[in-house]
Amino acid sequence: MDKFKIKGLNGKKTLSGSIRVNGAKNAILKVMASSVLFTDGFKMSNIPEIEDIKRMGELLDFLGTSVKKIKDKEYIIDSSKIKETDLDRGISEKMRGSIVLTGPLLARFGKVSFPVPGGCVIGARPINFFIEGFEKMGAETEFKNNRYYIKTKKGGLRGTEIFFKIPSVTATETFMMAGVLAKGKTVLKNVALEPEIKNLADFLISCGAKIKGVGTSIIEIQGGKLLKGKNKTYKAMPDRIETGSFLILGSLCADNLEITHCNPEDIELLICMLKESGVPIEINKDTIKIKGNAKIKNKDFKSFNIKTKEYPGFPTDLQAPMVMFLTQATGDSLVFETIFEGRLNFVEDINRMGANILLMDPHRALVKGPTSLRGREVESPDLRGGLAFIIGGILAKGESIIDNVYLIDRGYERIEERLQEIGVEIERI
């Protein structure tokens, strides 16, 4: 029931200093799930203390996998004694990413059961992607008591060819992991291209997996034996969504801000858009700098349209923070959310803060800028919408209260403490 209280800057760009990017939540969760494919364990480093990672650890503990923190941001994970194949209902219903465990469990044990996954209310996540794919690999599915039961025939999963009608990140990762232990070759076509997929594949390959074509639209996996970690260390890649979130915040509210320990190539489209809008950005190998931004008024930023799309297109996870940016730019901007039908629902609360946004339908919104924002009490609707409200509260005049910050804690480690270090007046209450 925690809340954030924020004293707004009333449009002034006074933030400065340095803010570090943490390890990528969406990469770490999948590597944790991949531990099911191992006879032993491995180490993980650069792991942030966020709720989703805690929940995945609890899910794995329930199954019999050992997840131990050895020091700050470092863990050892070991599935040598894993035995359960039924995902815990309470945890799974809070976490959309729990579905990714089904591939490794089914591949290793020949059976798995799970409830309909939960998480943020941003739109439907079709389960049919996974059910149809597993059935093509020789599994049988039953749905009863609001739970899916999947099992293979004698001999386990069989390699096959799967074409994704929509390039799904989670489905790509799930079936890539399932293919590691399936009999024969698995060919995945029209796969997602997100950097987190290559990050996962590279680690699995280093531990014995036979995977080809990562980074292209076709991935081939030759099935084999359980993988061996041999005390290898997986170091989490930088979180590109956190990088982009900080860059948007800095564009609106900072004079001089350095974003460190990031990979600018992963958000190249966002950087290009903001530069063309007028934000003074300097790019280095693993840092992004905003320099001399206070002399540029937000109303001098040019508006632009965005259309969310699979990588390397504009990420849906940055849509909400970018809508906040567009409320300050001059002109009309069309926001087209193509991934989740519920992800624009937060605009009503932004309008209550003083924005002028017309929600045309569940997928399109017209943002008219610039507008002055006023502090209000709002409730975080989801992880990324909650971060957008933080940006809005910092930007606005007066005080803002953000409720339901648990959803923000799911993806951003101690966000209030990190923002305080660059000058934000924010506290957890």
**CATH no. for residue 278?**
3.65.10.10
- Gap between the Cα atoms of 331 and 154, Å rounded: 62
289 and 397 share one domain: yes
Q: Tell me if 232 is assigned to some domain.
A: no
Give the pLDDT score at 122: 46
* Segment 155-203, tens digit of pLDDT: 899 999 999 999 999 999 999 999 999 999 999 999 999 999 999 999 9
Q: Tell me if 201 is assigned to some domain.
A: yes
117 and 262 share one domain: no
Write out the catalytic residue numbers.
120
210 and 318 share one domain: no
Q: Tell me if 297 is assigned to some domain.
A: yes
178 and 272 share one domain: no
Closest CA to 310 of 136, 185, 131, 168: 168
Q: Tell me if 93 is assigned to some domain.
A: yes
Closest CA to 350 of 313, 306, 400, 315: 400
The letter for the amino acid at 238 is: P
**110 DSSP 8-state letter:** S
Domain count, the chain: 2
Contact yes or no for 294/54 (Cβ under 8 A)? no
Q: Among 226, 250, 277, where does a domain finish?
A: 226
Q: Tell me if 362 is assigned to some domain.
A: yes
* Segment 99-155, tens digit of pLDDT: 999 999 999 999 999 987 754 444 455 788 899 999 999 999 999 988 999 999 888
185 and 258 share one domain: no
Give the pLDDT score at 185: 98
* Segment 388-429, tens digit of pLDDT: 999 999 999 999 999 999 999 999 999 999 999 999 999 999
What percent of the chain has a predicted confidence (pLDDT) above 90?
92
- Gap between the Cα atoms of 388 and 248, Å rounded: 10
260 and 204 share one domain: no
Residues in the chain: 429
- Gap between the Cα atoms of 180 and 66, Å rounded: 21
Give how far the C-alpha of residue 218 lies from the chain's centroid of Cα atoms, to the nearest Å: 23
195 and 333 share one domain: no
What percent of the chain has a predicted confidence (pLDDT) above 70?
98
List, in order, residues 6 or more apart from 361 with CB less than 8 Å away.
none
Contact yes or no for 256/16 (Cβ under 8 A)? yes
- Gap between the Cα atoms of 60 and 78, Å rounded: 10
Give the pLDDT score at 125: 56
- Gap between the Cα atoms of 95 and 411, Å rounded: 12
Mean pLDDT of 211-225: 97
Q: Tell me if 231 is assigned to some domain.
A: no
* Segment 79-95, tens digit of pLDDT: 999 999 999 998 888 78
Give the pLDDT score at 121: 46
Give the pLDDT score at 97: 81
- Gap between the Cα atoms of 211 and 118, Å rounded: 30
* Segment 277-324, tens digit of pLDDT: 999 999 999 999 999 999 999 999 999 999 999 999 999 999 999 999
List, in order, residues 6 or more apart from 100 with CB less than 8 Å away.
29, 30, 33, 170, 173, 174, 177
Q: What is the DSSP string of 118-179?
A: ----SS---SHHHHHHHHHTTEEEEEETTEEEEEE-TT--B--EEE-SS--HHHHHHHHHHH
Q: Tell me if 233 is assigned to some domain.
A: no
Strand partners, 427: 5
260 and 373 share one domain: yes
Give the pLDDT score at 118: 59
- Gap between the Cα atoms of 384 and 377, Å rounded: 17
Residue reference for tokens 């470092």: 74
Q: Among 196, 226, 256, where does a domain finish?
A: 226
Q: Among 202, 226, 250, where does a domain finish?
A: 226
- Gap between the Cα atoms of 70 and 132, Å rounded: 40
10 and 70 share one domain: no
**Domain enclosing residue 177, as ranges:** 25-226
**411 DSSP 8-state letter:** T
- Gap between the Cα atoms of 401 and 216, Å rounded: 44
* Mean pLDDT value across the chain: 95
